């Protein structure tokens, strides 16, 4: 299980996404898109996203989801699955 938040420094939605994860004690990896060209290429070319944040989540059952923007419902789904160890 893992979650990565690709964000930019001055993005309000990015800060809120990280806040939700931190509030619930979820450990995540943060990648700054403004300073990591490889990460920028990954989220734009491979994942197809054009706005931040981009969240890349691997759930307990090993399925992967990714999305862009502030999406509290999707974050809560990941948080709940993480806490219970259940599949999403």
Give the whole-angstrom CA distance, residue 5 versus residue 36.
Answer: 13
The answer to whether the beta carbons of residues 60 and 37 sit under 8 Å apart is no
Q: What is the pLDDT of residue 86?
A: 65
Average pLDDT, the chain: 94
- Arithmetic mean of pLDDT, 35-53: 97
The CATH architecture that domain 2-84 belongs to is 3-Layer(aba) Sandwich (3.40)
The model's confidence at residue 88, banded by pLDDT at 50, 70 and 90, is low
Structure tokens at 27: 């450990």
């Amino acid at each position: 299980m893992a979650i990565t938040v690709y964000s930019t420094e001055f993005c309000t939605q990015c800060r809120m996404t990280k806040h939700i994860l931190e509030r619930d004690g979820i450990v995540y990896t943060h990648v700054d898109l403004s300073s990591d060209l490889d990460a920028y290429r990954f989220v734009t070319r491979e994942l197809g996203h054009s706005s931040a944040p981009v969240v890349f989540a691997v759930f307990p059952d090993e399925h992967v989801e990714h999305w862009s923007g502030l999406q509290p419902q999707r974050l809560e789904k990941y948080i709940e699955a993480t806490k219970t160890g259940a599949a999403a």
